[in-house]
Amino acid sequence: MAINHLAPEQTEQFADNIVGFARALRAAGMPVGPGAVIDAMSALQVIDIGSRADVFTTLEAIFVKRHEHALIFKQAFNLFFRASEEWKHMLDSVPLPEQARKKPQAGSRRVQEAMSQPRMTETPQHQEQDLRLSVSDKEILQKKDFAQMSAAEIAEALRAVEKMHLPQAELLTRRRRPDPHGLRLDLRRTLRASLRTGGDIIDIHRLGRIEKPAPIVALLDISGSMSEYTRLFLHFLHAITDARKRVSVFLFGTRLTNVTRALRQRDPDEALASCSAAVEDWAGGTRISASLHNFNKLWARRVLSQGAIVLLISDGLEREADSKLAFEMDRLHRSCRRLIWLNPLLRFGGFEAKAQGIKMMLPHVDEFRPVHNLSSIQELITTLSRPLPPHHRSLIRSAA
Amino acid sequence: MTSAANSSGALPASVDAMLELLTSRGYLAERSLATVTYLSLRMGRPLFLEGEAGVGKTEIAKVLSAALGRKLIRLQCYEGLDVSSAVYEWNSAAQMIAIRMAEAAGDTDRDQLSSDIFADRYMIKRPLLQALEPDVAGPPVLLIDELDRADEAFEAYLLEILSDFQVTIPEFGTVKAPSPPIVIITSNRTREIHDALKRRCLYHWVDYPAAERELAIVKSRVPGISAKLSQQVVRFVQALRNQDFYKSPGVAETIDWATALSELDARSLTPQVVGDTLGALLKYQDDITRMQGDTLQKVLKDATSEN
């Protein structure tokens, strides 16, 4: 009953519907290109539009290219193809992602500042204080807007981060490329070259293995107690993501969010803005154990499989520290090449691992380092450039 | 479509026919899977199947090739998979002999030699090139298995093949398939596949089957099993999937377990027999440890209660 407006004889309306539906999906945050719309039309002509379920599957196969989008698609489909007169309200009723809502433009603060006063340092600190006060057991659905950052701070951090040399500890891959000092003979090129001399082999061509930087996976704690640092780390991670291919970044507070795609945008402001839009629990509480559990279950196999180095950036102040936390840390430790815990609390000289959470986590890390300023990030980079752990050493060498 | 017209094993004409075709070969598919498979055949598009391990992604390619009477060409992906193992390689030893022979015969025309050396008979064809060749039974089924295990470089290479069904060989020219093969790509999501590749395919997420379908699958794959035991097995497995395990058992594991139980002549599930055979279902020590004691008792009680 619901899809009679999709009958093929009413071709024009049918096309309109598909186009409208594609637009609705786009508005809901799904990447739907014009090619997919054309595909959808030809697919629906191939299939006998008898049942709603078949139409659903057909359109799903064409529009959904990532499993995460399946739910959005389902909601959109149900709303859109409910009844022909209702679909026009579609755009209002689909839950839009945060990016689509009105919010200050990324970088607007910087522009404003650039136009008026040279420096405004007090305001951001003040803001952070407020956020820290608001930490509670309840999840705080609050967003911190990166567009509201002070221009001087960003500029300073960025300059510093850009100057840093990125980690270069490399893995040998199984892929090969021409290399005069390589160990393997490149028979194909040798033969081709030999034909130039009528079959006499003069030059032996060789193959060597290609080296790639090891993938990096960063798990960044964005809970209230970390709010003074998250911004800097995000810039650091953005710089890394920009320069390397295999970097995955996850933010966690009370829940885990994958922001790798958001960070891929070239402009740091844009990247951080869409990052903050993707996160629902900015500067709220911490649930390290639950977040790690989610990471281990949903992502570890997908992002750690190529021998990744994990950077866990957190103060380890977990309220629900119990054996589960140790279990998840252990699982994480066993699934990656190297687990480095970066803890800003280490900046205090007499730091002792007293907090229960920290005690639970500490036995399972390869390295425990401070990060609270640019120089400690620089040290981190030096660490990352060192040769990787022995059990993988045969495949690895540290670049000069 | 041309592929439909040329083939001897006729393609199914509707989703229902597709469903029937799969069922006839013992593959009990969800209707949605039959629909996308049908679409991919009719539209000549690769089918990209993603899902947890052991839900029957690879199986569908095997079933399709058997049911349509097409050759199955399988490319198992792994890290470092490159053109010489996926597409073609020159038989250098034979080429070298040919060069020596030409020399001995006093034949010194270089162009002639070069075109002789890089001819079809010195080429070792790997799965992707084989799949582009015409076949009497109709275009073959090309299974690109576990693409997530190959690296990005190989994925990029696939783009040309999957959109134009052609391969360019520098010494040889372009090889184009007279009619495109049926392509099934599977991925376990150990890594994200690039959007550019997914865009060329029809995408489908293969989920765990519902209890009823799983029961039918167990009955058809483990013929000797009693109705009571198969029901308990399926209920037990379905309950396990609701638990928060690191790796939930797939359909393949269900079938394994049912087979194991039936080999042991089990009549129904008891704590003893479940404890002994849990390794057929759960593949992580942590998961097995979690299944001891109370959890096991509870799941077992639920699974066996109504019988």
CB contacts of B39 in chain A (<8 Å) are: 43, 46-47, 58, 61
Alpha-carbon span B22 to B217, nearest angstrom: 12
- Contact criterion met (CB < 8 Å) for B189 and A296: no
Residue A136: predicted pLDDT: 33
Residue B297: predicted pLDDT: 86
CB contacts of A46 in chain B (<8 Å) are: 39, 42-43
Q: Are B141 and B195 in contact (CB under 8 A)?
A: no
Q: Are B228 and B306 in contact (CB under 8 A)?
A: no
Supply A23's token pair. Answer: 């637009």
- Contact criterion met (CB < 8 Å) for A173 and B36: no
Residue B4: predicted pLDDT: 40
Supply A282's token pair. Answer: 């900015």
Mean pLDDT for A249-258 is: 86
Alpha-carbon span B91 to A353, nearest angstrom: 63
Mean pLDDT for A286-304 is: 86
Helix A227-243 vs helix A122-133: crossing angle, to nearest 10: 110
Nearest to B177 by CA among B223, B136, B212, B130: B130
Residue A158: predicted pLDDT: 59
Question: How far is the alpha carbon of A214 from chain B, nearest alpha carbon, in Å?
Answer: 13
Q: Is A296 an interface residue toward B (CB < 8 Å)?
A: yes
Helix A108-115 vs helix A151-163: crossing angle, to nearest 10: 110
Tell me how crowded residue B250 is: count the other CB atoms within 10 A of its CB: 22
Mean pLDDT for B162-190 is: 90
Residue A98: predicted pLDDT: 44
Question: How far is the alpha carbon of B80 from chain A, nearest alpha carbon, in Å?
Answer: 5
Size of interface A-B (CB pairs under 8 A): 111
Beta bridge partners of B88: B125
With tokens 């390689």, the residue in question is B89
Q: For every residue of A270-310, which 3-state class applies, written as one string?
A: HHHHHHHHHCCCCCCCCCHHHHHHHHHHHHHHHHCCCCCEE
Percent of chain A with pLDDT over 90: 1
Query: For the stretch A166-190, what's the b/e string if a residue is b when 16 or more beta carbons lie within 10 angstroms of its beta carbon?
Result: bbebbbebebbeeeeeeeeebbbeb
Residue A114: predicted pLDDT: 41
Backbone angles phi, psi at B182, to 5 degrees: -85, 115
pLDDT > 50? residue B248: yes
Q: Are B249 and B237 in contact (CB under 8 A)?
A: yes
pLDDT > 50? residue A315: yes
CB contacts of A33 in chain B (<8 Å) are: 199
What is the per-residue pLDDT across B67-120, written as a single tens digit (0 to 9) for each? 999 999 999 999 888 888 999 999 988 988 888 888 888 877 777 887 888 888
Alpha-carbon span A157 to B153, nearest angstrom: 34
Residue B242: predicted pLDDT: 86
- Contact criterion met (CB < 8 Å) for B198 and A54: no
Residue A142: predicted pLDDT: 31
Alpha-carbon span B285 to B238, nearest angstrom: 20
Read off the pTM.
Answer: 0.74
In chain A, the residue whose alpha carbon lies closest to the alpha carbon of B205 is A67
Residue A124: predicted pLDDT: 37
Percent of chain B with pLDDT over 90: 50
Question: How far is the alpha carbon of A230 from chain B, nearest alpha carbon, in Å?
Answer: 26
Task: Compute the mean pLDDT over every residue in chain A, rounded to the nearest whole number.
Answer: 71
pLDDT > 60? residue B168: yes
pLDDT > 90? residue B40: yes
Backbone angles phi, psi at A173, to 5 degrees: -95, 175
- Contact criterion met (CB < 8 Å) for B151 and A176: no
Q: Does B162 or A173 have the greater pLDDT score?
A: B162
pLDDT > 50? residue A395: no
Residue A176: predicted pLDDT: 83
- Contact criterion met (CB < 8 Å) for A61 and B36: yes
- Contact criterion met (CB < 8 Å) for B35 and A61: yes
Alpha-carbon span A129 to A125, nearest angstrom: 6
pLDDT > 60? residue B281: yes
Beta bridge partners of B76: B145
pLDDT > 90? residue A282: no
User: What 3-state class would DSSP assign to B70?
Assistant: coil
Q: Does A350 or B103 have the greater pLDDT score?
A: B103
- Contact criterion met (CB < 8 Å) for B79 and A174: yes
In chain B, the residue whose alpha carbon lies closest to the alpha carbon of A58 is B36
Residue A68: predicted pLDDT: 78
CB contacts of B246 in chain A (<8 Å) are: 296-297, 331
pLDDT > 80? residue B131: yes
User: Per-residue DSSP letters for B77-106?
Assistant: --TT--HHHHTEEE-HHHHHHHHHHHHHTT
Nearest to A17 by CA among A9, A30, A29, A5: A5
User: What 3-state class would DSSP assign to B185?
Assistant: strand
Q: Are A49 and A57 in contact (CB under 8 A)?
A: no
What is the per-residue pLDDT across A44-103, written as a single tens digit (0 to 9) for each? 888 777 778 888 888 999 998 888 788 888 888 887 776 544 444 444 444 444 444 444
pLDDT > 70? residue A128: no
Starting at the edge strand found earlier in the chain, the sheet holding A184-185 runs: A184-185, A206-213, A169-178, A396-398
Length of chain A: 400
Beta bridge partners of A208: A177
Alpha-carbon span B257 to B278, nearest angstrom: 8
What is the per-residue pLDDT across A53-65, written as a single tens digit (0 to 9) for each? 888 888 999 998 8
**B14, B35, B190: residue with CB nearest A58:** B35
- Contact criterion met (CB < 8 Å) for B199 and A187: no
Residues 148-207 of A with CB under 8 A from B: 173-176, 187-188, 191-192, 194-196, 198-199
pLDDT > 90? residue A208: no
Task: Give the mutation candidate from A32, A37, A57 for the B interface (greatest B CB count, under 10 A).
Answer: A57
Mean pLDDT for B236-248 is: 88
What does DSSP say about strands A247-252 and A256-258: parallel, antiparallel, or unpaired? antiparallel
Distances in Å between the alpha carbon of A103 and those of A106, A108, A396, B4, B239? 9, 11, 46, 53, 44
Listed in sequence order, the residues at least 6 apart from A381 whose beta carbon sits closer than 8 Å to its beta carbon are A164, A165, A166, A167
Q: Is A35 an interface residue toward B (CB < 8 Å)?
A: yes
Residues 275-294 of A with CB under 8 A from B: 293
- Contact criterion met (CB < 8 Å) for A187 and B92: yes
Supply A202's token pair. Answer: 């003069």
Mean pLDDT for B248-274 is: 91
Residue A55: predicted pLDDT: 85
Q: For every residue of A158-177, which 3-state class applies, written as one string?
A: HHHHHHCCCCCEEEEEEEEE
Residue A104: predicted pLDDT: 46
Alpha-carbon span B251 to B86, nearest angstrom: 30
Residue A375: predicted pLDDT: 67
Alpha-carbon span B146 to B49, nearest angstrom: 10
What does DSSP say about strands A169-178 and B202-205: parallel, antiparallel, or unpaired? unpaired
In chain A, the residue whose alpha carbon lies closest to the alpha carbon of B47 is A61
Residue B254: predicted pLDDT: 94
Residue B14: predicted pLDDT: 92
Alpha-carbon span A220 to A307, nearest angstrom: 19
Question: How far is the alpha carbon of A278 from chain B, nearest alpha carbon, in Å?
Answer: 19
Alpha-carbon span B185 to B194, nearest angstrom: 13
Residue B113: predicted pLDDT: 80
Residue A152: predicted pLDDT: 60
Residues 63-102 of A with CB under 8 A from B: 64-67, 70
Q: Does B182 or B106 have the greater pLDDT score?
A: B182
- Least trusted range by pLDDT, from A72-76, A263-267, B59-63: A263-267
Distances in Å between the alpha carbon of B126 and those of B75, B123, B152, B181? 9, 9, 20, 15
User: Per-residue DSSP letters for B268-304?
Assistant: S--HHHHHHHGGGT---HHHHHHTSTHHHHHHHHHHH
Q: Does A83 or B38 have the greater pLDDT score?
A: B38
Distances in Å between the alpha carbon of B54 and those of B20, B29, B249? 22, 14, 8
Residue B68: predicted pLDDT: 93
Beta bridge partners of B202: B47
Alpha-carbon span A161 to B63, nearest angstrom: 54
**A65, A198, A297: residue with CB nearest B108:** A198
Residue A247: predicted pLDDT: 85
User: Per-residue DSSP letters for B255-270?
Assistant: HHHHHHHHHTT-SS--
Residue A374: predicted pLDDT: 65
Residue A132: predicted pLDDT: 35
pLDDT > 90? residue B17: yes
Listed in sequence order, the residues at least 6 apart from A196 whose beta carbon sits closer than 8 Å to its beta carbon are B110
Residue B102: predicted pLDDT: 83
